[in-house]
Amino acid sequence: MIDRYGRNIDYLRISVTDLCNLRCIYCMPEGGVAKMRHEDILTVEEIEEITRAAAALGIEKIRLTGGEPLVRKGIVEIVRRTAAVPGIREVALTTNGSLLAGYAQDLKAAGLSRVNISIDTMDAEKYREVTRGGELADVLSGIRAATDAGLRPIKLNAVLIGGINEDFIRPLVEMTRDADFRVRFIEIMPIGECADWNRERFVSISRVLEDVPGLAYAGTDGVSKLYRLEGAKGSVGLISPISSHFCPACNKVRVTSDGKLKPCLHSPEEIPLRGLHGAALEDAMRRGILDKPLKHKLDSERKSDSRRGMSAIGG
Ligand code: SAM
Ligand code: SF4
C-alpha cells in the first residue's frame, strides 16, 4: 500500500514475544523485562489474522522478531501459518541464533525463507560480556544449522558499540571471505536501554571502512550500502540509521507482541489492533500505514521518541 508520502509499504515486522534468553547490554535490563501477562500476548490465531489483513493491504514480506522469537512457544506454527497466507511471498526471522540449531530444519520445513542472526563479536569472552552470559559457540552452531537447512542467504547483524566491540570489526568481516554470509554493521540507536548512554558509544558506521580499507563499494541492498573484500564470497553491508537516516525509503511497519501497530520505530504512535477483525482490522492498519510519519527525529544528539525499547518493539 502507498502511504501519504508515496512510499510503498510492503513489509511488516511482527514481534512474537518481548522475552529473551539473553540480556544484551544495549537492549535489555540486567534483570530482564517485567513479563507481560500471557493473555496480553498475541495468540497464534491473532498473528495469522493480522498477517491476512496486512496481505490484503499489500504487505508481501513478514519478519518475525522479538524479544527472542525462538523462545516463543509455537514459533514453528506461527511460521507455518504466516507463510501460508496468500500474498505473503517471504517470511523471515531475526534471532540471536543461540537456540537456532534445534529449530533450523523445522523452521525451513514450515516455510521460513531465511534468517538474520545477531552476532556483535567473534570473541567468546566479549560475546558473554555484551549479551550478559550468552555462548558464542551456540550461535556458531545455529549459523551452521541454518546453512545446512538452506535458510539462505544468511545475514549476520552486528551493532557497533563504541569502546566495546569495535576491535571485532575485522573478524566479522573475515566471515565473508569463504562463505556467502552478508555481514551487516548497524549504528546503535539511542532507544530503550541505551537511550541515555554516553554519546561516545554511538560510533559512525564509517569506522568499518577505516578499519578494513580493503573493502570495495559494491552497490546497495535496501537500506545497506554494500562492500566486498576482493575475491570474497560474501558481502559487508553498512546500515546507518543515525548518520544518514533512510526514512524516505522506509517500507515497513511493525506490530508489537501485545498487538499494537507501530507505523514508525522511533515515534510514540501506537494503534491497538486486538479485538479488531475483518474490515475493522484492515481499516485500523490502513490508517496506521497512511499516517506513517515522514521521518523520525532521532540523531546523534536526540534519543528516540518511542515509548518502548527494541526488545519490546522487535528490531
Ligand atoms: N533477539 C533477536 C536478535 O537479537 O536478533 C531479535 C530481536 S532484537 C531487538 C533485533 C535486533 O535489534 C538485533 O540485531 C539487535 O542487535 C538490534 N538492536 C537492539 N537494540 C538496538 C539499538 N539500540 N540500536 C540498534 N539495533 C539494536
Ligand atoms: Fe535479546 Fe535480541 Fe535484545 Fe539481545 S538484542 S537482548 S538477543 S532481544
**Tens-place pLDDT, residues 230-257:** 999 999 999 988 766 678 888 999 999 9
DSSP 188: -
Which listed ligand is nearest to 21 at the C-alpha? 2
Ligand 1: residue whose CA is nearest its atom 23: 189
The residue written with cell numbers 534519543 in the block is 303
Cell of 184: 551487516
Q: From ligand 2's centre to the CA of 26, what distance in Å?
A: 9
* Residue spans of alpha helices (H) in 114-175: 124-131, 136-149, 169-174
- Separation of 220 CA from ligand 1 center, angstroms? 22
Q: Each residue of 24-43: pLDDT tens digit?
A: 999 999 888 778 888 999 99
Indicate whether residue 191 lines ligand 1 (CB < 6 A): yes
pTM, two decimal places = 0.95
Span from the CA of 308 to the centroid of ligand 2 (angstroms): 14
pLDDT per residue as tens digits for the range 139-163: 999 999 999 999 999 999 999 999 9
Contact between residue 69 and residue 115 where contact means Cβ atoms under 8 Å apart? no
Whether 315 lines ligand 1, by a CB cut-off of 6 Å, is yes
Q: What is the pLDDT of residue 36?
A: 84
Q: What's the length of the chain?
A: 315
The torsion region of residue 121 among left (phi > 0), alpha (psi -120 to 50) and beta comes to: beta
Q: What share of the chain has pLDDT > 90, as a percent? A: 76
Q: How far is CA 200 from CA 69, 161, 162, 174, 204, in A?
A: 31, 9, 6, 26, 10
What is the spatial distance between Cα 312 and Cα 46, in angstroms, rounded to a whole number?
18
Distance between Cα 95 and ligand 1 center (Å): 9
What is the DSSP secondary-structure string of 177-200?
TTS--EEEEEE--S-GGGTTS-GG
Q: Whose CA is nearest to atom 11 of ligand 1?
A: 315
Q: What is the pLDDT of residues 166-224, one digit of tens each?
A: 999 999 999 999 999 999 999 998 888 888 898 889 999 999 999 999 999 999 988 89
| 8 A C-beta contact, residue 196 and residue 189 | no
From the CA of 310, how far away is ligand 2's center (Å)? 8
CATH superfamily, with its number, for domain 11-313: Aldolase class I (3.20.20.70)
